[in-house]
Structure 1
């Protein structure tokens, strides 16, 4: 019989302004320790060098992670023109250079090709699995791989600053699965000048914004005190695009036991995915059918 993980049964979201350096997993572990939480996870990895919004799910909120990872998110990033690297960012080795520098008008024109439903090839140094092994592990061994292109929805890609001839600052709003490093690489190739990511910051992710995030220093200062609990955000914030239905008293009891339960609904159709609340708290996620919610996930929030 496995040993039970110690910690509090605490549920909700902690939004962290991740600094450059630590991995996303290290940040999750820090938050779990600081809150003495039994269970934690994150909604979308940031590379160690990247900064910005890392949404940490605690307890039952881990069941709602897909609704944040599937939501739109935005990045501000700096592209270094004139150089390609083997990692498509500043952490790698320079593998090619170009003296060409496009002007702002040329850059803006090129950006339009990256908006909408596009196909994107992940970087060689990425967590994509190739024959069961992470691409970055094979790349570190000097292997060059054919990585299949993947679909990505890009809502917008804007030029927001041009500090000098070698650098451009862009803002990307996209769906799930986007690689900013691939955008920088492909833009450089399109412009004929090469390029890689120099700096990257996630400015919002679904319902969570960098302006509402805590730094690791702030988390350290409030660690394992009631003051940090006050920054825990409700689990329900994850349901940014999921409709709500309200369970009846009897329906709530049935839903908590994993059975279909009666709900009151106005803006949902038969078969729609939605979440059910009772007394203002989420109790289940499922499909609405003929006045009942058929649960796929039951949420047992104790705090």
Structure 2
């Protein structure tokens, strides 16, 4: 056997891939593994996600590639939508089906009782995050402390739930839909509904259907990564922001991190906004005294 025949085949070189993959993550896969699968499937150099989904959950997981990673905060700040099933009668230490039983109740609420309670959990409310969450306590993740058996006391935070609706109810289970803002925990909604009803409860199934501008209708599975036209442009994350087209000279200034004067009647008066040159994303910034001040610049060949 020759030395060449024993040499392992060359691995495909990683390449610069810029844009968004809107993944429909399956149950059982961590968000980290999902990012790794997309990165490996597209031979991409750089990737990250916009909002963790627990292994138990499925649905929309936006994955940013290359220059798109600079727009992740704009997606994470957007509204999120979920469909989730609450199992009544059992509370767990994780507030979902993966945890250990922390309490039981023989009470089974009627659909009318559940529905009547939902307005109290709509709007701006105070919510205590689950003990098993990624929130940091003195530099340590809450879930790491909880797994080590430490007592985790989390402070209530103000969150906004735009819509909470009952869509199905049968036996000891209710299916609900929620539209909520950044920092809201669906597991905490289920826990608090159960406690208020006196029957206890936890999330038995969870599917995310929207993150910012990205919806489940455009999401693909890991197996569909090889198909064409699945990569969304970097600026897809910025669709809810105003935009302005700038000249090549202005684009050069922005890409150097320098502000540029915005001219014309249609120039936005406030920010944040994003700028394009010849249809290519150049920068995201704010308006200050008639100038666009860049906070993020993009190397997309404008």
Instruction: Report if TM-score (shorter chain) is over 0.5.
Output: yes
Does the CA contact (< 8 Å) of 2:213 and 2:240 recur in 1?
no
Cα deviation digits, residues 162-207 of structure 1 (max 9, x gap): 1x22100000100111111100000001111000000000011111
In angstroms, what is the RMSD of aligned CA positions? 1.5
Cross-structure match for 1:3? none
Cα distance, 1:135 vs structure 2: 1.0
Cross-structure match for 1:246? 245
> Aligned match of 1:151 in 144, 158, 167?
158
Please identify, of 253-262 and 60-69, the stretch whose mean Cα deviation from structure 2 is larger.
253-262
Cα deviation digits, residues 232-284 of structure 1 (max 9, x gap): 001111113211111122211211222112335626225x2211111112100
Does the CA contact (< 8 Å) of 1:260 and 1:294 recur in 2?
yes
Cross-structure match for 2:203? 197
2:207 equivalent to 1:208: no
> Aligned match of 1:134 in 115, 119, 141?
141
Distance 2:194 2:268 in 1: 45
Cα distance, 1:240–1:113 mapped onto 2, change above 3 Å: farther
Distance 2:291 2:25 in 1: 41
Cross-structure match for 2:285? 286
Q: Runs ≥4 in structure 1, deviation > 4 angstroms?
A: none
> Aligned match of 2:36 in 25, 29, 35?
29
Cα distance, 1:7–1:38 mapped onto 2, change above 3 Å: same
Cross-structure match for 2:101? 94
Q: Pick the structure with greater CA Rg.
A: 2
2:269 equivalent to 1:262: no
1:36-115 residue pairs with structure 2 within 5 A?
36-115=43-122
Aligned residues: 289
Distance 1:288 1:25 in 2: 36
Distance 2:290 2:148 in 1: 57
SS in 2 for 1:49: coil
Does the CA contact (< 8 Å) of 2:280 and 2:301 recur in 1?
no
Distance 2:37 2:239 in 1: 26
Does the CA contact (< 8 Å) of 1:248 and 1:262 recur in 2?
no
Cross-structure match for 1:232? 231
Does the CA contact (< 8 Å) of 1:263 and 1:276 recur in 2?
no
> Aligned match of 1:172 in 167, 175, 178?
178
Please identify, of 100-109 and 37-46, the stretch whose mean Cα deviation from structure 2 is larger.
100-109
Cα distance, 1:290 vs structure 2: 4.0
Gaps of 5+ in 2: 1-12
Distance 1:218 1:241 in 2: 27
TM-score, scaled relative to structure 2: 0.92
